[in-house]
Amino acid sequence: MSNTDSALFSTAALPTVAWGKGSYVYDRDGKKYLDGSGGPAVYCLGHGNEEVNEAIKAQLDRIAHGYRYNFTSEPLQELETIVARQCGGGLNKTIFVTSGSEAVESCLKIALQYHDATGERSRRRFIARQRSWHGNTLGALSVSGHVGRRRPFEGSLLEASFLSPANAYRPPEGVAVEEIADYCAAELEQEILRLGPETVSAFIFEPVVGAAGGVVPAPPNYARQMLEVCHKYGVLMIADEVMCGCGRTGTWRALEYDNVEPDLMAIAKGLAGGYIPLGAAVFQQHIGQTILAEQGQFLTGHTFTGHTTACAAGVAVQKIIEREKLVEKVAASGQWLKEMLQAELGDHPYVGDIRGRGFFVGIEFVEDREKKRPFAPSLKLFNRIRNQTLANGLICYPVGGIVDGIAGDAVILSPPYNAPGAELEEIVDKFVVSCGTVLREI
């Protein structure tokens, strides 16, 4: 890992968690923390939700897990129905896994298997983007454009192509914001033609970039134009919604905002809200039918794929989200959250951009606003802010290397969907005070 990453992920001096309730977490010493990022944007219902816990206990009293090659289960079937309904359209085939990385890995494998089933076995290559993060398995890491996290594993990764990021705050050099979609679509087409369309399996991207970009929504028309290029050449589109999906951005699918339906989609964090590890590869019905007709089964998954209790947790979480209209709440309250941050930090000389959708907001820090010049990586600004917020009783999600893989600091705020207004105000207050302390020091 890079120095920025190693500073973030060091566990040498972390507090010991004891318990949590709602949006608050308590350590072993009794200190109270407001979870302003839902951990890594995962705890969509907060902590200690009694309804979810009871659903998990009830399932454990029956059976913890029915192995997928011996049984299906009612929780799995019910969650399949829920996911298909929330996705809408043709996205109605689902494989439940145990992490976001595994969800991405399964999407990559299903894309490859689909092309194999259609007889186009030469389609083995993937195209992705710089400043992207798709997971820690070797396949998911291979399509991740994150210099620091890839470096220790270079030489053992799949070969992939990487295109320009699609970032309205930092567009490609010489490209106007309103031209980003055209530029990126042309770049994708050129790369497909360079490789040979017959060799390209899929293009993968995050509709709203999370950890590698500090919450970067796709510009208008970007997703639509990229999909059109993909389908022109028989290439599949994979939307990685592990972080931004399941309601986080104010629509259940992040690409609903763009009126685009991908061929395959990876989801995870908000699916079961962190109560039990759960993710899913979701894909179009015709892809599933083609594979099953030709090969009889999906060649992805592991021992705990479709884990019964994990699916029961997912059903409980999704029922609460739907019953309490939390996705709609996220859409409305998310705009308010961003406006509060803009009012407090929008004119700060070291705050370059405040962006995002729903309860997925990123704040990018710069040394020079006019030139958008990031702070020196050696300062580890993102980590200093994280440490200060923890000291002040706030959990946030800091990210480094967002400009070129080494430099660039941002912090993500992604509170639980059911966080009330008073807690959102507390998040902003603690965050503003913490940022002020660190930026004055620097």
Give 106-173 as a DSSP string: HHHHHHHHHHHHTT-TT--EEEEEBS----SSHHHHHT-B-HHHHGGGTTSSPPEEEE----SSSPST
Order of strands, sheet of 160-163, starting from the edge strand that comes earlier in the sequence: 91-97, 279-284, 264-267, 236-240, 200-205, 125-129, 160-163
pLDDT at 10: 54
Compute the distance between CA of residue 400 and CA of residue 381 in angstroms, rounded to an integer. Answer: 8
Q: Which fold has domain 52-323?
A: Aspartate Aminotransferase; domain 2 (3.40.640)
pLDDT at 148: 85
Instruction: Provide the phi-psi class of 81: left if phi over 0, else alpha when psi is between -120 and 50, else beta.
Output: alpha
Give burial (CB, 10 Å; 0-12/13-18/19+) of 397.
buried
Q: Which two tokens stand for residue 299?
A: 């060649």
Q: Write down the domain spans for the chain.
A: 3-48+325-441, 52-323
Compute the distance between CA of residue 92 and CA of residue 263 in angstroms, rounded to an integer. Answer: 11
pLDDT at 13: 80
Residue with structure tokens 């990210």?
399
Helix (H) or strand (E) holding 413: strand 409-413
Summarize pLDDT for 337-391 with one digit per residue, the tens.
Answer: 999 999 999 999 999 999 999 999 999 999 999 999 999 999 999 999 999 999 9
Q: What is the helix, strand, coil percentage profile of the chain, to 5?
A: 45, 20, 40
DSSP 256: G
Q: Sort strands 32-35 and 236-240 into parallel, antiparallel or unpaired.
A: unpaired
Q: What is the number of alpha carbons within 13 Å of residue 41 lying toward its C-beta?
A: 30
Ranges in the chain, pLDDT < 70: 1-12
390 pairs with which residues across the strands?
Answer: none
pLDDT at 4: 44
Residue with structure tokens 């992490």?
99
pLDDT at 366: 98
Q: Which fold has domain 3-48+325-441?
A: Aspartate Aminotransferase, domain 1 (3.90.1150)
pLDDT at 246: 98
Residues 6+ away with beta carbon under 8 Å from 184: 163, 164, 166, 172, 222, 225, 226
Length of the chain: 442
Nearest to 274 by CA among 14, 6, 35, 62: 35
Helix (H) or strand (E) holding 32: strand 32-35
